[in-house]
């Protein structure tokens, strides 16, 4: 019996440990006071965040590794996850397709820098087999389609901007992303800017309450829905659409021009006067030749790099890497269908990176 | 018994110690599973506290899921989950029971029955994402042409398509368990029925099925559990919309697929916590259905 009471004690303590453990875990999560340290040597940097930027980062980092021997381990877990990891201080940098929102910035505890890395665009892809020419869309028409107000392809509003195109009487089937995504955020941000009704009814976010349509998981999900469903229309990342040779519409920008989405028109969208912190939405850009649905992806780092006993060498490595990314690293953008930073964006990114400090001292001279 | 009492078996100290260690490790492992389930439950409850506090019971019957303005109502997803699962069950039961009877009663042995048995078990081993792909590329166009014939909006994807995929996925669970149970029906019972002049069909209907019904039901329950939690295949063909479905051909959404879709980018505390509460509800739904099932099985067997 003695041994039995011994077992009981063990079980009891195990129970208590597990339960308290799970409670602690539960309380800690989200509040984000991370005491976790960034592990590893100073020649291995850790990053996490956006899946959108991942192909570009892996190319850039492998090239940088050949040059400087610095290893970078980037986990593409999604922008939200990257921000959470940076908040918990388990990575050296995060990457997000949207600037930090108020709550995220508050949870960080310290100020974080947003450094633009590249830009991407969202294109409107459609499946109307009867139409051979490239369709033109205006902001109003686009918003009305996604609000469910325009339901047929031969609607007078669509016909008015597509002179001479024979439009069929097919029903429009809207396809959108079902997973939370930076692509959705950029797209709904654009619709909120161009349509008051969209802004009040739906709003912007990485997931929204869609008034109509079918959801597909990931770019491939939406692309699949569009390809398969006659009459479908959906929004897809430019890079994905180009790689898969999908047809996409010309979209009217703020200046009134119908713009074909490509790398040049996406880069052009950010060639405008940018705010000093670069936290700007590029949708509905003022640029005359800019495509109106585009956005930056930002690397996120803490302004003060001395935290959690990080070494100065580590901070320097990080700053140098990002500096390289916005200069030499930009040459890898085009091949991978990312729009390189515009001259105006590089200028702002340089200025931001130069405000990063270690013990209050500027890291990059 | 008396004889054994008088024989003294000498066990070495090592043997006794081994015995005790073995026994205590068994107990420990068994208990740790219990602790794990409790910890799951507790974590879910604690993490969903912010949303429980903010939304209360409105979370259960709210019809809008809008992360932009932080309104979360799980009703469309609860409906979607139950609708797809029970519809799938309805479709799969005739198939799984037929297979169970065929393999258990008509062809218990032989190469053909081995082959069929393995094929059925293979259905359970195929990863669900493959069902999703197959559904998207093969089933969806078929359902679309059916919908055109029926005169409903031809989405192709939706509740009905998801139920079909789910039905295929859950057949092996009820079929395997049912087959085992049918094979365990004592031969003497069947022979008695035959000797009274019953036909094979009558024997199955009046002896085999009543005897094996608790097992058949347990298999159905297992299938239902699988259908409730299935995520990937459903996500790919259900249409993922939070609009409440009006017919079984409309697109919808299930709790599991909402969690899988939106978890990675849930930026605000309330949003994340609402998704976790969704997980908690799914957990509770499964528990409740299991408890009901256990009760039903008990009633059947004690009759």
Q: CA geometry: angle at B134 spanning B133 and B139, to 5°? A: 120
Q: Which of residues 94-153 of B touch A (CB under 8 A)?
A: 136, 140-141, 144, 153
Q: Which residues pair with A174 in a beta bridge?
A: A233
Distance CA B181, CA B175 (A): 10
What CATH number does residue B120 fall under?
A: 1.10.3720.10
Give per-residue pLDDT as tens, A205-260. 889 999 999 999 889 889 989 988 889 999 999 989 988 888 899 999 999 999 99
User: In which band, very low, low, confident or very high, does the pLDDT at A316 lie, cut at 50, 70 and 90?
Assistant: very high
pLDDT bracket for residue A27 (50, 70, 90): very low
Q: Is residue A140 scored above 80 in pLDDT?
A: yes
Q: Distance between CA A59 and CA B69 in Å, rounded? A: 38
Mean pLDDT, to the nearest integer, of A344-360? Answer: 93
pLDDT at B110 over 90: no
pLDDT at B301: 67
Query: Is the Cβ pair B157, A225 closer than 8 Å?
Result: yes
Based on the fold, state whether residues B180 and B260 are members of the same structural domain.
Answer: yes
Q: Give the whole-angstrom CA distance, residue B31 versus residue B200.
A: 47
Q: What is the pLDDT of residue B153?
A: 81
A173-180: average pLDDT: 92
Boundary (domain end) residue, out of B55, B77, B93 = B55
Task: Categorize the per-residue pLDDT at A13 as very low, low, confident or very high, splitting at 50, 70 and 90.
Answer: low
Q: Count CB-CB contacts under 10 A for residue A274.
A: 20
Look at residue A294 and give its three-state secondary structure: strand
- Based on the domain organization, do B75 and B34 belong to the same domain? no
User: Measured between alpha carbons, how far is B175 from B100 in angstroms, rounded to an integer?
Assistant: 5
Average pLDDT over residues A182-190: 92
Whether the per-residue pLDDT at A29 is higher than 50: the answer is no
pLDDT at B5: 67
Asked if B80 has any chain A CB less than 8 Å from its own CB, the reply is: no
Q: Identify all chain B residues contacting A228, using CB atoms and an 8 Å cutoff.
A: 136, 140-141, 156
**B41 CB-side CA count, 13 A:** 11
Instruction: Kindly state the percentage of chain A with pLDDT values over 70.
Output: 89
Q: Kindly report the backbone phi and psi dihedral angles of residue B240, in degrees, each rounded to the nearest multiple of 5, phi listed first.
A: 45, 60
* pLDDT score of B8: 73
**Among partner residues A19, A80, A204, which is closest to B267 by beta-carbon distance?**
A80
First to last CA, chain B: 36
Burial-class residue B22 by CB neighbours within 10 Å (0-12, 13-18, 19+): exposed
Into how many domains does chain B fold? 2
Residues 269-288 of B with CB under 8 A from A: 269, 272
Query: Do B91 and B133 sit in the same domain of this protein?
Result: yes
Encoded tokens for B98: 């037929």
pLDDT at residue A289 above 60? Answer: yes
pLDDT value at position A34? 39
pLDDT tens per residue across span B38-86: 999 999 999 999 999 988 888 988 899 998 888 999 999 999 999 999 9
Confidence of residue B302 (pLDDT cuts 50, 70, 90): low
Same domain? B46 vs B65:
no
Averaged pLDDT, A176-205:
93
Confidence grade of residue A25 (pLDDT, cut at 50, 70, 90): very low
Q: How confident is the model at residue A1 (pLDDT cuts 50, 70, 90)?
A: very low
Q: What proportion of chain A, given as a percentage, has pLDDT over 90?
A: 63
Contact: A205, B65; criterion CB under 8 Å: no
- The DSSP code for A304 is B
Of the candidate ranges A8-17, A315-324, B131-140, the one whose mean pLDDT is the lowest: A8-17
pLDDT in tens, B214-234: 888 888 988 998 899 898 899
Contact A229 B156 (CB under 8 A): yes
Residue of B32, B68, B264 lying closest to A77 (CB–CB): B264
Per-domain residue ranges of chain A: 5-118+297-362, 122-294
Query: Which range is least confidently modeled, A19-23, B21-25, B271-275?
Result: A19-23
- The mean pLDDT of chain A is 87
Measured between beta carbons, the chain A residues lying within 8 angstroms of B261 are: 178-180, 207, 215, 217
Domain carrying residue B278 = 58-302
Residues B7 and B83 in one domain: no
- Residue A154 pLDDT > 70: yes
CATH superfamily of A122-294: Periplasmic binding protein-like II (3.40.190.10)
pLDDT of residue B58: 87
Residue A23 has pLDDT above 80, yes or no: no
The answer to whether B25 faces chain A, any CB pair under 8 Å, is no
Structural tokens at position B104 = 């258990």
B69 and B50, same domain (yes or no)? no
The H or E element that residue A76 is part of is strand A71-76
Neighbours of B21 (CB within 10 A): 11
Please tell me what DSSP assigns to residue A88: T
Percent with pLDDT over 70 in chain B: 97
The CATH topology of domain A5-118+297-362 is D-Maltodextrin-Binding Protein; domain 2 (3.40.190)
Which pair of tokens denotes residue B46? 């604690």
| Secondary structure string (H, E, C) spanning A135-204 | CEECHHHHHHHHHCCCCECCCHHHHHHCCCCCCCCCECEEEEECCCCHHHHHHHHHHHHHCHHHHHHCCC
A236's enclosing H/E stretch is strand A232-237
CB atoms B27 and A203 under 8 Å? no
B19 touching A, CB under 8 A? no
Let me know whether B107 and B166 are in one domain: yes
Burial (0-12, 13-18, 19+ Cβ within 10 Å), B144: buried
**In B, which residues are within 8 Å of A171 by CB distance?**
153
Same structural domain for residues B101 and B18? no
Of A224, A238, A187, A223, whose CA–CA distance to A208 is shortest? A187
Contact A178 B39 (CB under 8 A): no
**Are residue B146 and residue B248 in the same domain, yes or no?**
yes
Across chain B, mean pLDDT equals: 89
Alpha carbon distance A328, A310 (integer Å): 27
Burial of A298 (0-12, 13-18, 19+ CB in 10 A): buried
**pLDDT score at B1:** 53
Confidence of residue A73 (pLDDT cuts 50, 70, 90): very high
| E strand or H helix that includes residue A238 | helix A238-243
Tokens standing for residue A105:
């910035």
Name residues whose C-beta falls within 8 Å of residue B151's C-beta, 6 or more positions apart in sequence. Answer: none
Measured CA to CA, the distance from residue B225 to residue B256 in angstroms comes to 12
Cβ-Cβ contacts under 8 Å, A170 against chain B: none
- Whether residue B93 contacts residue B220, with contact meaning beta carbons closer than 8 Å, is answered with yes
Contacts of B157 in chain A (CB under 8 A): 214, 225
**Residue B260 clears pLDDT 70, i.e. is over it:** yes
pLDDT confidence of residue A31: 38
């Amino acid at each position: 019996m003695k041994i039995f009471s011994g077992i009981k004690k063990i079980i009891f303590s195990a129970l208590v440990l597990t339960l308290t453990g799970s409670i602690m875990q539960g309380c800690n999560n989200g509040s984000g006071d991370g005491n976790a340290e960034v592990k590893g040597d100073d020649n291995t940097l850790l990053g996490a965040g956006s899946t959108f930027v991942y192909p570009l980062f892996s190319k850039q980092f492998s090239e940088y590794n050949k040059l400087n021997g610095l290893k970078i381990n980037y986990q593409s877990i999604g922008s939200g996850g990257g921000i959470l990891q940076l908040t918990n201080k388990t990575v050296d940098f995060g990457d997000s397709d949207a600037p930090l929102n108020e709550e995220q910035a508050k949870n960080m505890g310290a100020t974080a820098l947003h450094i633009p890395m590249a830009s991407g665009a969202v294109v409107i892809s459609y499946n109307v087999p009867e139409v051979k020419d490239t369709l033109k869309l205006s902001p109003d028409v686009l918003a009305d389609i996604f609000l469910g107000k325009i339901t047929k392809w031969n609607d007078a509003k669509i016909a008015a901007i597509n002179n001479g195109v024979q439009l069929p009487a097919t029903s429009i089937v809207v396809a959108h992303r079902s997973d939370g995504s930076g692509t959705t955020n950029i797209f709904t941000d654009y619709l909120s800017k161009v349509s008051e009704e969209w802004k009040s009814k739906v709003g912007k976010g990485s997931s929204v309450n869609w008034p109509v349509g079918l959801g597909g998981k990931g770019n491939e999900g939406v692309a699949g829905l569009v390809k398969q469903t006659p009459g479908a229309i959906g929004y897809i990342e430019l890079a994905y659409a180009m790689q898969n040779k999908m047809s996409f519409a010309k979209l009217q920008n703020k200046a009134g021009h119908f713009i074909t989405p490509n790398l040049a028109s996406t880069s052009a969208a950010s060639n405008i006067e940018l705010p000093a912190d670069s936290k700007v939405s590029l949708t509905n850009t003022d640029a005359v030749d800019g495509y109106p649905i585009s956005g930056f992806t930002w690397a996120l780092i803490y302004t003060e790099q001395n935290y959690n006993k990080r070494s100065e060498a580590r901070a320097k490595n990080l700053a140098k890497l990002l500096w390289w990314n916005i200069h030499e690293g930009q040459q890898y953008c085009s091949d991978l269908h990312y729009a390189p930073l515009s001259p105006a964006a590089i200028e702002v990114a340089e200025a931001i990176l130069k405000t990063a400090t270690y013990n209050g001292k500027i890291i990059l001279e | 018994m008396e004889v054994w009492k008088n024989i003294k078996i000498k066990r070495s100290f090592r043997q006794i110690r081994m015995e005790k260690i073995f026994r205590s490790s068994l107990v420990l492992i068994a208990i740790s599973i219990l602790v794990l389930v409790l910890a799951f439950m507790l974590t879910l409850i604690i993490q969903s506290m912010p949303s429980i506090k903010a939304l209360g019971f409105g979370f259960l019957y709210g019809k809008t899921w809008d992360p932009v303005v932080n309104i979360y109502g799980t009703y469309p997803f609860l409906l979607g989950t139950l609708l797809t699962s029970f519809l799938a069950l309805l479709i799969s039961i005739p198939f799984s029971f037929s297979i169970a009877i065929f393999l258990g009663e008509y062809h218990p042995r032989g190469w053909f029955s081995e082959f069929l048995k393995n094929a059925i078990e293979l259905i359970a081993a195929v990863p669900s994402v493959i069902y999703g792909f197959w559904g998207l590329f093969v089933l969806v166009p078929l359902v679309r042409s059916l919908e055109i014939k029926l005169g409903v909006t031809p989405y192709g994807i939706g509740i009905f398509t998801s139920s079909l995929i789910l039905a295929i996925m859950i057949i092996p669970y009820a079929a395997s368990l049912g087959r085992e149970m049918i094979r365990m029906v004592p031969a003497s019972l069947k022979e008695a029925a035959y000797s009274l002049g019953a036909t094979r069909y009558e024997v199955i209907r009046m002896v085999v099925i009543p005897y094996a019904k608790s097992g058949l039901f347990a298999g159905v329950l297992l299938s239902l559990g699988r259908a409730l939690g299935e995520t990937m295949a459903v996500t790919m063909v259900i249409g993922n919309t939070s609009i409440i479905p009006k017919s079984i051909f409309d697109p919808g959404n299930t709790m599991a697929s909402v969690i899988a879709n939106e978890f990675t980018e849930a930026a605000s505390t309330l949003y994340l916590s609402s998704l976790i509460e969704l997980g908690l509800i799914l957990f509770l739904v499964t528990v409740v259905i299991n408890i009901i099932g256990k009760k039903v099985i008990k009633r059947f067997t004690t009759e």
